[in-house]
Amino acid sequence: MSKTRGFEVVTKFQDQNINLPKRQTKNAAGYDIECAKDTVVPSIWKNGVFNVIKLLLNKKEIQEDNLAKSIKPVLVPTGLKSYMQEDEVLILACRSSNPLKRGLSLPNGIGVIDSDYYNNESNEGEIFVQLINFFPKDVTIKKGERIAQGIFIKYLKTDNDLNDGDDRTGGFGSSGLN
């Protein structure tokens, strides 16, 4: 039987009781994705926002590199990888309760998991969810808590699409900054 699309547990989490994502209701589009291990998402107010205010008020010199590190999103591990058809993508969306109840948001808007991310040589295709915490206190996400939704979607190419076969060689964020 050939596989069409789905989720698998990555090797390093094989014996850690990772649940495969599932839809919670009959007509739900999204598969609920859980956190693979307890993870703290620090408040951006602890360091980042205050550093931005200091920078804006010119009270203290802050190097941009240090500023970026103080507001950096947390990569929350899921322990999962996903396989799909070549013309499909897995979209990671924030759970609707995250911002309202926990102050958590996806800083990249949505996550895009390409079909060639599966089993890449860098990290086996492990899916991470980027999160920032805009509430004033740190948030601890416990293993097994639902943190995002995954939605499989077919995508279309333009008539003049010229990408003729560059292969993915890296993992998370490996296709470049531009």
Residue 97 is assigned to a structural domain of this protein: yes
Q: Where are the beta strands (DSSP E) in the chain?
A: 6-9, 31-34, 39-41, 74-77, 80-83, 88-94, 104-105, 111-114, 128-133, 139-141, 146-154
How many whole angstroms separate alpha carbon 166 and alpha carbon 177?
16
Residue 84 is assigned to a structural domain of this protein: yes
Residue 95 is assigned to a structural domain of this protein: yes
Residue 165 is assigned to a structural domain of this protein: no
100-146 pLDDT, tens digit per residue, is 999 999 999 999 999 999 999 889 999 999 999 999 999 999 999 99
Reading the chain (178 residues) residue by residue, the pLDDT tens digits are: 789 999 999 999 999 999 999 999 999 999 999 999 999 999 988 766 666 666 667 655 555 555 556 678 999 999 999 999 999 999 999 999 999 999 999 999 999 999 999 999 889 999 999 999 999 999 999 999 999 999 999 999 999 988 766 665 655 555 554 4
Query: Which tokens sit at 21?
Result: 């994502």
Residue 175 is assigned to a structural domain of this protein: no
Residue 59 is assigned to a structural domain of this protein: no
Query: Domain span at residue 130?
Result: 6-42+73-154
How big, in percent rounded to 5, are the helix, strand and coil portions of the chain? 15, 30, 55
Give the per-residue pLDDT at 61.
57
34 beta partners? 146
Tell me, what DSSP letter sits at residue 123?
Answer: T
The domain that holds 83 is classified in CATH as 2.70.40.10
Residue 99 is assigned to a structural domain of this protein: yes
110-120 pLDDT, tens digit per residue, is 999 999 999 99
Residue 63 is assigned to a structural domain of this protein: no
Looking at the 3D structure of the chain, how many domains does it have?
1
Tell me, what DSSP letter sits at residue 6?
Answer: E
